[in-house]
Structure 1
């Protein structure tokens, strides 16, 4: 029987207003939503969009201080710039295509580029207030979920000029979110590194930098881990800082365009990598392998371009090939700058030049020693991937720049078949992959890179993540260790973190590594089930359900059914980021961490790796 034809008339076409569109499709504007456990979660993008406007004022020479406070999830950002023109205060935060940045004379190389930023913050906040003061007058506008609820003009005020924005992210969109000060502090440090002379106050703590990217490398890398003092080069539209690490194997880059942290790199980062290789080959007059030159490099590059083109809405990868402003291409500009300035530096600093050459020759020696085993390991990994039971992959990957959900991509590393089975059956096959370990992984402390190729599990894990050559090819944004909350599970966590610290520390530095929190108890009666992650949550659940609720203690992930597991890896997933203590060198971390005679191990873990250990009962530690 034929299906009746559906009428397609003007009534079928619905035009969304600006805030409805943002609220319905937030991912188009701010990437993923998240709960604040990841540095690229939406709540940090909201904060960043507001700060970007204040940074633009500083760049224009208006206001040297930005004050930020976060209390009970209410965010306030205050600058002492020129203030939004009073007649446009409401329009600037609530009308699309309104904003000063469409006038390229005023904001030639600004951070906030599309005029959508504060409008997205307004639309995605349950409460939003903007207050602008200039010329002795002040205008205030208040909104709720993007709707204007109040506006007020003060004809006379003694307030200092500038703009103050207060917002509360909407809990119906950002569920159970929490701002983590570690991520905010890192973002603010990047702002001050890129804007020497700027002062940012966050909840009373001061952030300031005089030496730009040099400070960035020195603050993020322990001095003991550096092969030579940071090389710092500055030009009109470019700044570069670089050193090599004594301890880490892979390359580490911090790249920026117009003050935007391009975590996915792009044309400028590729040009810089190429320029370093060319300059060093020319300086020593030897055709060294590019991988030997760049092995263990730690570098930062910042450029300013006219009207940059990014490969995603959240501006994490530069696509532009042109500098604009009558300058040559990005590639030529960076090649010329690095070629001239790095060559000069190496001529003037022979000690650094000698240390660098020794490092390159050592890398060449290690590469040749590894070449045979690496080839065998790749062939093994290739064979294994054809029928690899260890990896159950997902459809979307971090490199899919056009996909809105790429930031949600997650690899769960599990122990044993039962836990792997539960996660595999309940996962989202689009964004969640599972890698299954067989028993406890090898303790890789003190071992060379050779072990990564010789050990089948490490080799397959490296292949699954696709990080052998470079972090740029990382396939998942979140790497989540999912082990039981017991002594064995804790030991597996330590062994995996040791592996990442030893061979791929930038995965931890760049906030890609997490511990999955899973419930310890299920408390239920006939009407309701509550999952509890601590003794305190269990007590609260028992009070709530009163009477005699049934209490189940989960001893391992394998005991949790797939139907239940989907609650713990879905919208309500609880992740605890693994973070490094920047005051301790990686070498010392590993020594404390997995070396022999470690009575201080428990204290060390708590002090130096901020992993949530509350899940493990006192007597199990």
Structure 2
């Protein structure tokens, strides 16, 4: 059976098992409802004439209470079907098949129903909120005014406390990726404990399905594990060691922030299922599993559009996360939308990928694996260090105590071996590292777990790393020579940069007036606190575009820097040349990074050029300048491209701005006969009143064509940057000429 069929089979198996649970639950509910009816009839007929009326009345009142409690149960079934329909039809195979629905019983049973196995099912509870409106004009503030929110309600009320930013999927730390991560992390924890070597994932139309083949959640605790905050086995170190999700929230956040959430656990021939809408349980059941179905857990969820807006999973970002899982768990097979993610060599594969091949390292990879510390490292020709760090399988992009301790350990190991006092910057410049540690009680600086804060790990990591590096160099004298050559090269480069910083920056500062030429500054900057938190500088070209933007901007937080034309190509030039170029010198001082990128004056650097060949060339030249001299600004996510509309489509009553030909064609059809289409060929062709719409924040409820559209510049493979710059911005080569010929295109106005 091929990979594609295996993945589809596992997801369909889980879905069919849930359908079985729904059928069992319907039967049990019907049986219990019949029992309630029989009991009520007997109570009325068995009374005397005098007492019969009161007994019948009491029985009727009791029945009325039961009916009121049961009636809401019919509503979630309708809502579930509607929710599934609105979310789009999602199938696990190319042939369309209906989505399995787990509907709650139409009436609440007065006693627990029984499963096919003869064991009582948990009673289905429907929680309702009174629709009465209270008069608060004379409200009293006392003990009764203090409200207690259940765990999932609090997550929905304060999502930022649990998953950080909500977002719509544009950035890799947006909330929808945290929901996905929490679902996958549980499966990874099972693999790390030796249970299950495969995870199947499907992401389609905003709906996520995850199936693992671990032990499965204990059936009686499924609901607690997916809905009760601070419930889980990961508090017990004898069960889970070095698990990723240690805060007791994890998958509960996924449940709370999903419009639809379903969890199923299969263990030893039985299956438990629980189904929720926006954190409220709508059904649960325990039933027999089909013969031969493997143990494990199945999760399905749809992020709530009320929380995340019109979200979309960026599959490039998902793929990056899945590859990290593969590198950290060699031998684990992950299938997402039928694509396989598998690493045999773990962290070594990660570094080889980031370098663009083993040949780009100065010496062969150094791999070390201890009980709780593992790393792979090498040096490249670059002056920048890149550390890919992980704690218990979780990427810590912002580093933390484990990273600083590791770098200290490397420096100490080098100095011990060479009997020198090299500075850490000289030792680590150009260093490429993949580092992971295991820790029973990690403490992160945020719920998104991007930075480790445990100070007690410093001493043991320094000591172990120092000893490992010293021992490695003693057993590899040829590598030791290459290592020291790289350190000396770094020292010379640093001396040259320092010389530029101390002399030319000082001289350049004298020639730059307080009002920098071509800069139209804003009032508030990044260092001004909350008022400057969203500050941005647009780098544009030409007086026409600059004039439009200056008149359209919000002067409080939007600055404009105007290029005279195409800036100089700085590829292959030393940093000293940067301060000899008047225009780029002024841009550098405008950004405030002439001494240190930490002094950046704006949160966002936005390249705003025309969407034509000249505009794209200017983008490349500005990006070359940034990557050569201020690469950290790109790596830390400060650089963006401004996307402006290509077309305006309007009729007498409506105007729509389109960012693609597909959108244009759609709007022409929507507006009907008489629609007028305008093609914008440059920023200068858009008047200031119109342009203001494209550089201001989008208001709630506004259409997709409104508000600023920014594309963040990111680097997929860091070590490929020098090769890419050389190919596109270096001297002409036969390879580049061939590339241009094969990709030659002309834009012709019809």
TM-score scaled to structure 1, two decimals?
Answer: 0.84
| 1:271 alignment partner in structure 2 | 405
| 1:130 alignment partner in structure 2 | 263
Alpha-carbon contact 2:368-2:375 (below 8 Å) kept: yes
Alpha-carbon contact 1:511-1:578 (below 8 Å) kept: yes
1:618 paired with 2:744, answer no
1:544 paired with 2:707, answer no
Q: Distance in 1 between matches of 2:280 and 2:742?
A: 46
Structure 1 residues 220-229 or 470-479, which shifts more? Answer: 470-479
Alpha-carbon contact 2:264-2:272 (below 8 Å) kept: yes
1:51 Cα deviation after fit:
0.8
Q: Distance in 2 between matches of 1:393 and 1:253?
A: 36
1:45 paired with 2:174, answer no
Matched residue SS, 1:173: helix
Alpha-carbon contact 1:49-1:117 (below 8 Å) kept: yes
1:68 paired with 2:68, answer no
| 2:366 alignment partner in structure 1 | 231
| 1:9 alignment partner in structure 2 | 141
Q: Distance in 1 between matches of 2:307 and 2:735?
A: 43
| 1:597 alignment partner in structure 2 | 732
| 2:390 alignment partner in structure 1 | 256
Alpha-carbon contact 1:254-1:300 (below 8 Å) kept: yes
User: Higher relative contact order at CA 8 Å, sep ≥6: structure 1 or structure 2?
Assistant: 1
| 1:143 alignment partner in structure 2 | 276
Q: Distance in 1 between matches of 2:388 and 2:742?
A: 26
Matches within 5 A, 1:89-100: 89-100=222-233
Matched residue SS, 2:390: strand
1:196 paired with 2:322, answer no
Q: Distance in 1 between matches of 2:161 and 2:742?
A: 39
Change (3 A) 1:74 1:458: farther
Change (3 A) 1:555 1:287: same
1:363 Cα deviation after fit:
1.7
| 2:649 alignment partner in structure 1 | 523
Matched residue SS, 1:192: helix
| 2:119 alignment partner in structure 1 | none
Alpha-carbon contact 1:255-1:265 (below 8 Å) kept: yes
1:240 Cα deviation after fit:
1.4
Alpha-carbon contact 2:214-2:296 (below 8 Å) kept: yes
| 2:473 alignment partner in structure 1 | 346
Matches within 5 A, 1:324-343: 330-343=457-470
Counterpart pick for 1:553 among 670, 679, 683 = 679
Change (3 A) 1:584 1:278: closer
Alpha-carbon contact 1:515-1:575 (below 8 Å) kept: yes
Q: Distance in 2 between matches of 1:27 and 1:410?
A: 24
Alpha-carbon contact 1:37-1:575 (below 8 Å) kept: no
Matched residue SS, 1:318: coil
1:217 Cα deviation after fit:
0.8
1:438 paired with 2:438, answer no
Change (3 A) 1:472 1:231: farther
1:178 paired with 2:312, answer yes
Structure 1 residues 555-564 or 504-513, which shifts more? Answer: 504-513
1:369 paired with 2:496, answer yes
1:290 paired with 2:424, answer yes
Listed one character per residue, the Cα deviations across residues 433-469 of structure 1 (whole Å, up to 9, x for unaligned) are 6562533333122223444555566567667878899
Q: Distance in 1 between matches of 2:550 and 2:172?
A: 24
1:378 Cα deviation after fit:
4.8
| 2:623 alignment partner in structure 1 | 497
Change (3 A) 1:569 1:114: farther
Q: Distance in 2 between matches of 1:118 and 1:172?
A: 19
1:316 Cα deviation after fit:
0.8
Matched residue SS, 1:240: strand
Matched residue SS, 1:277: helix
Q: Distance in 2 between matches of 1:583 and 1:268?
A: 22
1:9 Cα deviation after fit:
1.6
Matched residue SS, 1:236: coil
Alpha-carbon contact 1:479-1:514 (below 8 Å) kept: yes
1:176 Cα deviation after fit:
3.2
Change (3 A) 1:487 1:94: same
Structure 1 gap segments, 5+ residues each: 323-329
Listed one character per residue, the Cα deviations across residues 103-153 of structure 1 (whole Å, up to 9, x for unaligned) are 333233210121212121122222211111112111122222222233232
| 1:241 alignment partner in structure 2 | 376
1:52 Cα deviation after fit:
0.9
| 2:353 alignment partner in structure 1 | 219
Change (3 A) 1:387 1:28: farther
Larger Rg: 2
Structure 2 gap segments, 5+ residues each: 1-136, 699-703
| 1:103 alignment partner in structure 2 | 236
Change (3 A) 1:105 1:455: farther
Change (3 A) 1:360 1:475: farther
Change (3 A) 1:214 1:31: same
Change (3 A) 1:414 1:30: farther
Q: CA RMSD in A?
A: 3.9
1:259 Cα deviation after fit:
1.4
Counterpart pick for 2:697 among 557, 570, 582 = 570
Q: Distance in 1 between matches of 2:290 and 2:266?
A: 8
Structure 1 residues 349-358 or 527-536, which shifts more? Answer: 527-536
| 1:487 alignment partner in structure 2 | 613
Matched residue SS, 2:306: coil
Matched residue SS, 1:618: coil
1:481 Cα deviation after fit:
2.9
Alpha-carbon contact 1:310-1:319 (below 8 Å) kept: yes
Matched residue SS, 1:172: helix
TM-score scaled to structure 2, two decimals?
Answer: 0.70
Listed one character per residue, the Cα deviations across residues 545-578 of structure 1 (whole Å, up to 9, x for unaligned) are 2242444433334535367545555355544454
Change (3 A) 1:58 1:539: same
Q: Distance in 2 between matches of 1:397 and 1:66?
A: 45
Matched residue SS, 1:360: helix
Listed one character per residue, the Cα deviations across residues 286-319 of structure 1 (whole Å, up to 9, x for unaligned) are 2223222221111122112232211112111111
Q: Distance in 2 between matches of 1:549 and 1:183?
A: 38
Q: Distance in 2 between matches of 1:380 and 1:181?
A: 48
Change (3 A) 1:428 1:598: farther
Q: Distance in 2 between matches of 1:134 and 1:147?
A: 25
Counterpart pick for 2:484 among 348, 354, 357 = 357
Structure 1 residues 345-354 or 573-582, which shifts more? Answer: 573-582
Q: Distance in 2 between matches of 1:270 and 1:516?
A: 36
